[in-house]
Amino acid sequence: MKYKLLFLAICFNVTIAFSQNKADTVSVDALEKETTIAVSDDVKIPHHTGMVLWLNEEWWQALLQGHKEVPTESKNTILTTMGRYDVLAVIDLINDSGYAFKYTDRKTILNYVKMMDKYGGTIKPYSEEEYEISLTQILNILKPMLQSYMGNMASHIEFIVYPAWESATNRYFDPYKSGSFHLKYNSIDHFIRLPLGSLLKPKWCKKCKEMRNGSWTYCPYDGSLLEEK
Ligand SMILES: [Zn+2]
């Protein structure tokens, strides 16, 4: 039994080692493509459109990597704070009359959106009263920043903040490990497959002679085993 556990532990570590083939630089755009969930025509909410962006620690890292003007000390404060949380940036609107949009309020959004753990239970978000000061400050800076490239729509973003860690050593959703990020948006289940390819070094297909998504094991065009470069 002891040896079996030891064997499992070794296998587990090997898996982690494989999935830790981190990319040197991460494109925020590529990451967001993987971590955005779009919802429309939900059967229970007609004329409804929603968008959820999962802001994890890696998103903050990628974002700050592109901002050389931000002092290292500030970057460290942001990363230390935001590393404790998974934040969902949600925009939700209803087009009732056919031409005018109505943005959904925070209370309704909190009813629509549920982040699910791997056991199928819901993860409880923090209430705004529970936010630590540095978290509030960072979210206050984030909104106008998003506004600069999303326009007025960004002022209707609601941030929902969840704990990123289920225990001292385990994240709910580790974007480098195999698994899935699970979100329930009203009646519909959405999954993001992990690891996220945008965080990993691309792999090489020797048959196609092209680079492929780092989260893939086989080339989707010819089934060749992809190689780490
Ligand atoms: Zn190939």
pLDDT digits (tens, 9 = 90+) for 90-122: 999 887 766 778 899 999 999 989 999 999 999
Q: Decide if 212 contacts 197 (C-beta within 8 A).
A: no
Q: Are residues 189 and 212 in the same domain?
A: no
Q: Decide if 117 contacts 123 (C-beta within 8 A).
A: yes
Gap from CA of 217 to ligand 1 centroid (Å)? 11
Gap from CA of 223 to ligand 1 centroid (Å)? 7
Q: Are residues 77 and 142 in the same domain?
A: yes
Q: Are residues 170 and 208 in the same domain?
A: no
Q: What is the mean pLDDT of residues 6-16?
A: 43
Tokens of 185: 């948006």
Q: Are residues 108 and 211 in the same domain?
A: no
Q: Decide if 168 contacts 182 (C-beta within 8 A).
A: no
Domain span at residue 223 reads 1-21+201-229
Q: What is the tally of structural domains in the chain?
A: 2
pLDDT at 39 > cutoff 90: no
Q: Are residues 12 and 110 in the same domain?
A: no
Q: Are residues 225 and 122 in the same domain?
A: no
Q: Decide if 126 contacts 162 (C-beta within 8 A).
A: yes
Q: What is the mean pLDDT of residues 202-210?
A: 94
More confident residue, 12 or 94: 94
pLDDT at 17: 41
pLDDT at 41: 67
Gap from CA of 228 to ligand 1 centroid (Å)? 13
Q: Decide if 196 contacts 172 (C-beta within 8 A).
A: no
User: How far does the chain reach from its first CA to its final CA, in angstroms?
Assistant: 37
Q: What is the mean pLDDT of residues 45-63?
A: 90
Q: What is the mean pLDDT of residues 85-94?
A: 94
Q: How confident is the model at residue 153 (pLDDT cuts 50, 70, 90)?
A: confident
Q: How confident is the model at residue 11 (pLDDT cuts 50, 70, 90)?
A: very low
Gap from CA of 180 to ligand 1 centroid (Å)? 25
Gap from CA of 218 to ligand 1 centroid (Å)? 8
Other Cβ atoms within 10 Å of 145 Cβ, number: 12
Q: What is the mean pLDDT of residues 120-143?
A: 95
Gap from CA of 208 to ligand 1 centroid (Å)? 4
Instruction: Tell me the percentage of the chain whose pLDDT exceeds 90.
Output: 64
Burial 51-74 (b: 16+ CB within 10 A, else e): bbbbbbbbbbbbbbeeeeeeeeee
Dihedral over Cα of 6, 8, 14, 17: its sign: negative
Q: Are residues 222 and 142 in the same domain?
A: no
Gap from CA of 199 to ligand 1 centroid (Å)? 21
